[in-house]
Amino acid sequence: MTFDQNTLPDNPYLLLTPGPLSTTKGVKAAMLRDWCTWDRDYNELVQSIRHKLVGISAENPEGYTSVLMQGSGSFSVEAVIGTVVPRDGKLAILTNGAYGNRIVQMANVLNIANVVLDFGEISPAEPEKLDTLLKSDPSITHVAVVHCETTTGMLNPIAEVGKIAKEYGKVFIVDAMSSFGGVEMDIAALQIDFLISSANKCIQGVPGFGFVLAKEEELIKCKGQARSLSLDLVDQWQAMEDQQGKWRYTSPTHVVRAFYQAMLELEEEGGVSARADRYLTSQRTLVEGMEQIGFRTLLTRDHQSPIITSFYYPEESAFTFAGFYERLKKEGFVIYPGKISAADTFRIGNIGHVFPEDMERLVKAIERNRFWL
């Protein structure tokens, strides 16, 4: 099936936000037809997506499976948290931003016993603190951490965290929402039991569903544990397995078709390593350009992800984010406000159909806009 992409209008601006993000015309064009949710063609598409997701998750992904779940990414995080921690379980959550804190909120709403290791807003998670905690509290059964904390752009040391979680025999959960597909990782080598991401991040699809990569033997153990019917991860997986690509309840068909196209385009680009290279080059181009015109990053380079970067507001007292945002939008760039309390920052994302040249154009536009303050 091909679509005439030339009839699609150009977007009025580039989204430099960490999802929804700028997608290709191919991805948008893929949504221009309707699908039946129980039709074989559609279900085969779903199976292919599930298979491809597992395929890019590890060098040797044997023993891993994938589940797709309706809703935004948080719904998939909640499906994992609410399904995999048993009634008598206890979850340790390492947090340094809004998305780690959201997992804490979920655990509290779902009445899941939890312990929080809070590292503030601008420091990475410290594996040693987890070691101390797990030593002192053997009742902990599960450990959760966010890989790229999109709040700031912080990349947490999931390899070290996972190593400790596994030394103590805990189930290891990673919210890799904004990094999966855009940063090279191997879930088998990282010993991750449950990894969560969504359609509208580094795979470069449109919003509408999330997905979970799970170690199958761990997933099966969770049968009957879910605290929600719609967000029962095992039931959803079982339906997809038994009925070969069938979702429980209505699936976001157009979004799924667009995601399939996005997966093909990821392959065409050269896979995750090529995409990770592009993101890294874009992010470096952005930071070097911004530093040249006087901006400073919130995080040091060693903790910085290639996904999204936080910048301090410039010194000029006349600077307002609202004014800056509007001027950049007129130039064709949409940026993101900051989200932390410790400092005044704004954020620029570089995932999506965005290239190092776009970063150069952006820096030039920002330089021009500074004179209008």
Token pair recorded at residue 331: 């130039």
Q: Does 70 bind ligand PLP (CB under 6 A)?
A: no
Binding residues with ligand PLP: total (CB under 6 A): 13
Q: Is residue 99 part of the contact set for ligand PLP (CB under 6 A)? A: yes
Q: Which of 49, 94, 140, 177 binds ligand PLP (CB under 6 A)?
A: 177
- Nearer CB in complex with ligand PLP: 58/106: 106
> What single string gives the DSSP state of each residue in 152-176?
TTEE--HHHHHHHHHHTT-EEEEE-
Burial 181-204 (b: 16+ CB within 10 A, else e): bbbebebeebebbbbbbbbbbbbb
For residues 115-124, b (16+ Cβ closer than 10 Å) or e, as one string?
Answer: bbbebebbeb
Q: Print the binding letters for residues 22-61 with ligand PLP: x by CB under 6 A, - otherwise.
A: ----------------------------------------
- DSSP, collapsed to helix, strand or coil, labels residue 247 as coil
Q: How far apart are CA 45 and CA 47, in angstroms?
A: 5
Using rule CB under 6 A, residue 74 touches ligand PLP: yes
Q: Is 192 an interacting residue with respect to ligand PLP (CB under 6 A)?
A: no
Segment lying near ligand PLP (by CB under 6 A), choices 61-69, 72-80, 183-191, 295-303:
72-80
Pick the closer one to ligand PLP by CB: 154 or 363.
Answer: 154
CB atoms within 10 A of CB 52: 18
Closest separation in Å from C-beta 149 to ligand PLP: 6
Name the minimum Å distance from CB 75 to ligand PLP. 7
SS3 65: strand
Least separation in angstroms between CB 96 and ligand PLP: 11
**Does 95 interact with ligand PLP (rule: CB under 6 A)?**
no
Q: Is residue 18 close enough to count as binding ligand PLP by CB under 6 A?
A: yes
347 belongs to an annotated ligand binding site: yes
Q: Which of 17, 19, 142, 183 binds ligand PLP (CB under 6 A)?
A: 19
Which residues within the stretch 140-169 sit at the binding site for ligand PLP (CB under 6 A)?
A: 146, 150
CB neighbours of residue 36 within 10 Å = 10
Which residue in the set 121, 175, 193, 232 belongs to the binding site for ligand PLP (CB under 6 A)?
Answer: 175
Q: In 10 A of CB 371, how many CB atoms?
A: 6
125 belongs to the binding site for ligand PLP (CB under 6 A): no
| 127 near ligand PLP, judged by CB under 6 A | no
Given 3-state DSSP classes, what are the helix, strand and coil percentages for the chain, each rounded to the nearest 5?
Answer: 40, 15, 40
**Distances from the Cα of 118 to the Cαs of 97, 124, 162, 305, 339, in angstroms?**
9, 10, 17, 20, 16
Q: What's the min distance (Å) between Cβ of 135 and ligand PLP? A: 28
Closest CA to 80 of 186, 236, 247, 231: 231
Residue nearest to ligand PLP (CB): 73
DSSP one-letter code for 146: E
CA distance 203 to 260: 10
Binding site for ligand PLP (CB under 6 A): 18-19, 72-74, 77, 99, 146, 150, 175, 177-178, 198
Which positions make up the binding site for substrate? 347
Which positions make up the binding site? 347
